[in-house]
């Protein structure tokens, strides 16, 4: 199989696998009360399947096969051993120039990219080494950026890995490093564990963000519901008033990694309450009471900071004298 086809196949498989994993997660969350998580997962799944479908239908690949100007690009033959021409002025398949690098632009744009932010070491103004050897092949001033973007590819020829380094204007000691392609030279093997951990961490963070958003909406609903009451049970927490009832099953409360960035929110949170809400493990099966305490604490912080005007307050006094599970809202 030609390297091009192999690469396309890898992308398709990766996208379909991701879609499958997300669908499994979605199945677990099929519940009207978990709309936020369902919505988030649905968007991710659709995006994965769209990418895979356009690859399989040839939408994305058709550009590579189309004749444009004097350059005619063909898909790589399945067992290409044709000699490779170096001159850019000849009518050649540009994807076969110099080694088997996937060098045409369309392909590069489709490569899965991974973005990282790294900080320069103290006293230095260059990004720290990432343990791999790179060779710089270009530098360009990017519109709207004070610093030029630098382009690197794997120092081992015949490897399609690339990276771009962009110094961030507002934080000159921080660099945005975008990795493209994968190392076919084996150079990356020693770093594969770290790589896998990074990917897992990203996925974990994505799920945690969805969970945190959901948790936030519960808190909001709880403290703003008129005449609310709640019940703890071994299966979860139930909030209710004269009009509605909603349940938070224990399974909704998953630990939020402390490494996660705080989720974006339009909830008027200050830093302290954000930390309180997301920087700790939310209640597990053995700690449903802490949900109520947490909600009361969050409300208190909002109120003290004068940032919220909830129509009805959570009844902290009743909570304190609560041997039974029911708490009325004093509004």
Out of 144, 186, 261, 323, the residue judged to bind DNA by CB under 7 A: 144
94: contact with DNA by CB under 7 A: yes
Site string for DNA, 257-296 (x = CB under 7 A): ----------------------------------------
Kindly tell me which residue out of 26, 106, 168, 247 binds DNA, with binding defined by CB under 7 A: 106
Site for DNA in 48-77 (CB under 7 A): 63, 68-69, 71
236 scored as a contact of DNA (CB under 7 A): no
From the list 105-113, 184-192, 232-240, 279-287, the region that binds DNA by CB under 7 A is 105-113
Q: Using H for helix, E for strand and C for coil, what is the string for the chain?
A: CCHHHHHHHHHHHHHHHHHHHHHHHHHHCCCHHHHHHHHHHHHHHHHHHHHHHHHHHCHHHHHHHCEECCEECCCCCCCCCCCCCCCCCCCCCHHHCCCCCCCCHHHHHHCCEEEEEEECCCCCCCCCCCCCCEEEEEEEECCCCCCEEEEEEECCCCCCCEEEEEECCCCCCEEEEEEECCCCCCCCHHHHHHHHHHHHHHHHHHHHHHHHHHHHHHHHHHHHCCCCEEEEECCEEEEECCCCEEEEEHHHCCCCCCCCCCCCCCCCCCHHHHHHHHCCCCCCCCCCHHHHHHHHHHHHHHHHCCCCCCCCCCCHHHHHCCCCCCCCCCC
Q: Does 162 bind DNA (CB under 7 A)?
A: yes
Give the residue with the Cβ less far from DNA, 88 or 323: 88
**Binding of DNA at residue 137 (CB under 7 A)?**
yes
Q: How far is the CB of 162 from DNA (least distance, A)?
A: 5
Decide if residue 114 touches DNA (CB under 7 A): no
Stretch that binds DNA, among 9-17, 26-34, 146-154, 187-195 (CB under 7 A): 146-154
Work out whether 11 is an interface residue with DNA (CB under 7 A): no
From candidates 9, 20, 115, 135, binder to DNA by CB under 7 A: 135
Considering CB under 7 A, how many residues would be counted as binding DNA?
34
CB 170 to DNA: min, Å? 17
Question: Judged by CB under 7 A, which of 164, 269, 296, 298 binds DNA?
Answer: 164
Q: Does 98 bind DNA (CB under 7 A)?
A: yes
């Amino acid at each position: 199989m030609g390297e091009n086809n192999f690469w396309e196949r890898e992308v398709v498989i990766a996208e379909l696998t991701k879609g499958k994993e997300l669908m499994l997660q979605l199945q677990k969350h099929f519940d009207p009360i978990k709309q936020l998580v369902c919505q988030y997962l649905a968007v991710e799944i659709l995006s994965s399947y769209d990418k895979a479908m356009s690859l399989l239908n040839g939408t994305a690949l058709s550009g590579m096969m189309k004749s444009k100007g004097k350059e005619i690009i063909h898909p790589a033959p399945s067992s290409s051993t044709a000699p490779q021409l170096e001159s850019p002025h000849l009518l050649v398949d540009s994807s076969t120039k110099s080694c088997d690098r996937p060098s045409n632009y369309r392909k590069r744009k489709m490569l899965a990219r991974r973005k990282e932010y790294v900080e320069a070491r103290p006293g230095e103004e260059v990004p720290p080494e990432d343990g791999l050897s790179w060779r710089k092949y270009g530098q360009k001033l990017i519109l709207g950026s004070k610093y030029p973007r630098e382009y690197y590819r794997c120092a081992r020829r015949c490897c399609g890995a690339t990276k771009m380094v962009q110094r961030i204007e507002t934080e000159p000691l921080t660099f945005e490093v975008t990795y493209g392609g994968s190392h076919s030279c084996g150079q990356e093997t020693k770093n594969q564990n770290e790589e896998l951990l990074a990917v897992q961490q990203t996925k974990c963070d994505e799920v945690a963000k969805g969970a945190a958003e959901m948790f936030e909406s519960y808190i909001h609903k709880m403290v703003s519901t008129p005449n609310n009451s709640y019940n703890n049970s071994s299966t979860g927490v139930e909030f209710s008033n004269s009009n509605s009832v909603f349940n938070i099953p224990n399974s909704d409360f998953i630990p939020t990694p402390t490494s996660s960035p705080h989720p974006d929110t339009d909830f008027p949170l200050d830093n302290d309450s954000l930390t309180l809400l997301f920087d700790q493990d939310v209640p597990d099966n053995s700690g449903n009471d802490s949900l109520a305490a947490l909600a009361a604490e969050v409300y208190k912080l909002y109120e003290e900071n004068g940032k919220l005007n909830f129509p009805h307050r959570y009844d902290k006094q009743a909570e304190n004298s609560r041997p039974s599970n029911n708490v009325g809202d004093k509004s």
